[in-house]
Amino acid sequence: MKINVDTKKGKEALSKAFQKTSKVGKKVVGDIQQGAKELSEKTKNDSYLRRMKKYNPLFPDTYQSETFNIPNMIMIRDDAERRDIDVCEGAIGWIDNANGVEVLCLYDEAIEFSGINFIPVASCDAFYYVDNYDRNRFIRTDCIFSKAHEERLAELQNIANLLGAKRCSIEINEAVVESKKEVKSASISQLATIKGIDVKAKESREEFNVNENVNQRSGRIVAEFNGSDNPQRPTLKWFAQDDNIKRLIDMRCSRDNAIKSQTLELSGSTSATMSQKAAYNIDVAMSKLAGIKGKSEMETKATKEHHSKLIFTVEF
């Protein structure tokens, strides 16, 4: 039996099948290419976000926004440090977190833009801490306690002058506290009876002893004025919460202002620059960012300030 094969129809069917297969193949290739492109873009985005998280740059619009709060601590840095990092382009610095302390690392080129008043003049690699009474004023950490001390003395003299005093004296008693920590290891052997069996137990223990040596340093300042029977209420900053100073002002500003003299003992803790805990946190942050280990200068100064006294004598 002879079978006739229509080769023309076969070729057409084969051509159609090839075209269909080709379209499917092109679609698959296209889908693969699109998927690869999307994966590449996602990878790039993920890499960018990781770098953003790592470097945490601060941009001008964020700094000027109402929701941004300047951290209490600032370190001035050279803008060249991150000049070649793409995510830092256009930034004025970055926010760092040093053991729980938020620090603004501000580029030296952005000091004027920041609008912050640095005391003394801002310089690279220096640390500054906010003035508790003026958040636009940051004082260099190595002179913040001496600056506060000067301001307290000036405020007391101004109080005496405005209250109409003829003379005032300020005696300064500063306590220098030296702490020494010792670690002692001790082994204790005990004989215990457990279920009728004698068992020898050995226990190791560490004891921490803290020895404090307190030395006193003193000084005296005397100021004389013309005196007046028309006292004025002074504006208080450091002694705004000191009840002794407030009572003195009330007595002097009463109608008869009969008080002629008074001596007040003012504790350093009532007009402290900062808490000892805050000082410790600053030490830790500076140690991490500046690579200085084992220093506790701020905490030592804060402890010294808390142990200090001012003996304020005023005569009218």
CB of 147 closer than 8 Å to CB of 119: yes
Per-residue model confidence (pLDDT) at position 74:
97
- Pure H helices in the chain: 7-55, 60-64, 111-114, 144-162, 243-252, 276-290, 297-306
CA atoms 290, 141, 74, 123: torsion sign: negative
Per-residue model confidence (pLDDT) at position 83:
86
How far apart CA 126 and CA 115 sit, in angstroms, is 17
Please name the residue that has the structure tokens 């226990």: 203
> Which pTM value belongs to this model?
0.72
Residue 158 pLDDT > 90: yes
Q: Tell me the CA distances in angstroms from 212 to 179, 267, 282, 302, one per residue in order.
A: 5, 20, 23, 15
How far apart CA 231 and CA 109 sit, in angstroms, is 48
Average confidence (pLDDT) over 66-70: 94
Average confidence (pLDDT) over 192-219: 50
Considering the chain, what is the average pLDDT of its residues?
81
Q: 234-289, pLDDT tens digit by residue?
A: 999 999 999 999 999 999 998 777 789 999 999 998 899 999 999 999 999 999 89
Average confidence (pLDDT) over 125-150: 94
pLDDT: is 299 or 10 the higher one?
299
Per-residue model confidence (pLDDT) at position 258:
76
Residue 135 pLDDT > 60: yes
| Domain range list for the chain | 1-55, 57-142, 145-178+214-315
Q: Is 26 exposed, middle or buried (0-12, 13-18, 19+ CB in 10 A)?
A: exposed
CB of 138 closer than 8 Å to CB of 128: yes
Average confidence (pLDDT) over 48-62: 92
How far apart CA 308 and CA 273 sit, in angstroms, is 12
Reported as a pLDDT band with limits 50, 70 and 90, residue 114 is: very high
Residue 90 pLDDT > 50: yes
CB of 145 closer than 8 Å to CB of 208: no
CA atoms 272, 276, 282, 283: torsion sign: positive
Task: Please report, rounded to a whole number, the percentage of residues in the chain having pLDDT higher than 90.
Answer: 58
73-77 and 261-267 strand pairing: unpaired
